[in-house]
Amino acid sequence: MIQFNNVSVRLGRQNVVENVSFCVDRGEICVILGKNGSGKTTLLKAISSNAPYTGCIMADGRDISALGRRERAATIAFMAQNLPSPPVSVERLVSFGRRPYTGISGILSPEDKLITHQVLRQTGLEHISEKRVDRISGGEKRKAFFAMMLCRQSPYILADEPTANLDVIHAKSILEMLAERKAAGDGVITVLHDINQALEIADKILLMDSGHAVFFGSPRQFCEKNFPFSHFGMERLECTGSDGKKQFIYR
């Protein structure tokens, strides 16, 4: 389980995240929602070690600030929102996910290579594995970084807007892969902007507003408390799914 206990982040003169507490178990997906500037990215940066925070973040009962860099990287894989464009092949980028296990040499073992190829296949990137990351589309690059995160094979994955700028088919495949990680027993924390995507995959929703967590609970509670309308101004439409069951979508 990952637990945030009263986590606050101050950047410059601003309290960007204030006293946020929530937890995500293995085998669960927590989606962080909130308007732009509400502190979602900063919250993820606290755990991925780029932002200094107060309070406590625990992973499987251990304070992450006490973990060494490699141990932390092997426990939690993170995919940032703003991605660089390194002049390396997609395959090489994906293999960087194995870094915590390769030692200082960075030399991939046969097992590291096998995992890299499995992930390339699983993410549908095999056909562009030789292409350079700085010469592929924005959507392909996002998928390649997503694959790098999966290649880590860590029990917790954190993805900041992994579906941003992806077409419908690729966004759907990313959400399916997150669901697969959950089914395999990983804990997933992801920022999404699409309420319907969030309601589809989330076990828990954390709603951020001006640096505060204003809601943490199940998608059902999120809807019952009318947050889609009160916070995002979205109206609810009732429809019938292909299985004949009543469903709600928000627009």
206 touches 32 (CB < 8 A): yes
| DSSP annotation of 1 | -
130 touches 90 (CB < 8 A): yes
Q: 171 is written with which tokens?
A: 């966004």
38 touches ligand ADP (CB under 6 A): yes
Minimum separation from the CB atom of position 41 to ligand ADP (A): 3
Nearest to 24, CA basis, from 235, 197, 218, 162? 218
20 touches ligand ADP (CB under 6 A): no
Size, binding site for ligand ADP by CB under 6 A = 12
Contact segment (CB under 6 A) with ligand ADP among 10-18, 19-27, 105-113, 124-132 equals 10-18
206 touches 31 (CB < 8 A): yes
Contact segment (CB under 6 A) with ligand ADP among 12-20, 124-132, 146-154, 199-207 equals 12-20
14 touches ligand ADP (CB under 6 A): yes
Minimum separation from the CB atom of position 194 to ligand ADP (A): 15
Contact segment (CB under 6 A) with ligand ADP among 6-14, 123-131, 133-141, 168-176 equals 6-14
Across 25-172, the runs of DSSP E, i.e. the strands, are 29-34, 53-59, 62-63, 76-79, 156-160
Among the listed residues 31, 33, 41, 91, the single contact to ligand ADP using CB under 6 A? 41
Pick out residues in 151-170 that bind ligand ADP (CB under 6 A).
Answer: none
List all residues 6 or more positions away from 117 whose beta carbon is below 8 Å from its beta carbon.
Answer: none
Nearer to ligand ADP, 94 or 157 (CB): 157
Phi, psi at 99, each rounded to 5°: -45, -45
Nearer to ligand ADP, 43 or 188 (CB): 43
Contact segment (CB under 6 A) with ligand ADP among 30-38, 127-135, 197-205, 219-227 equals 30-38
Among the listed residues 7, 22, 42, 207, the single contact to ligand ADP using CB under 6 A? 42
Contact segment (CB under 6 A) with ligand ADP among 8-16, 86-94, 117-125, 146-154 equals 8-16
What does each C-alpha distance from 128 to 93, 94, 123, 168, 177 come to in angstroms? 12, 12, 11, 20, 19
Residue-wise DSSP of 188-218: EEEE-S-HHHHHHH-SEEEEEETTEEEEEE-
37 touches ligand ADP (CB under 6 A): yes
Minimum separation from the CB atom of position 161 to ligand ADP (A): 8
- Binding region for ligand ADP (CB under 6 A): 11-12, 14, 16, 34, 36-42
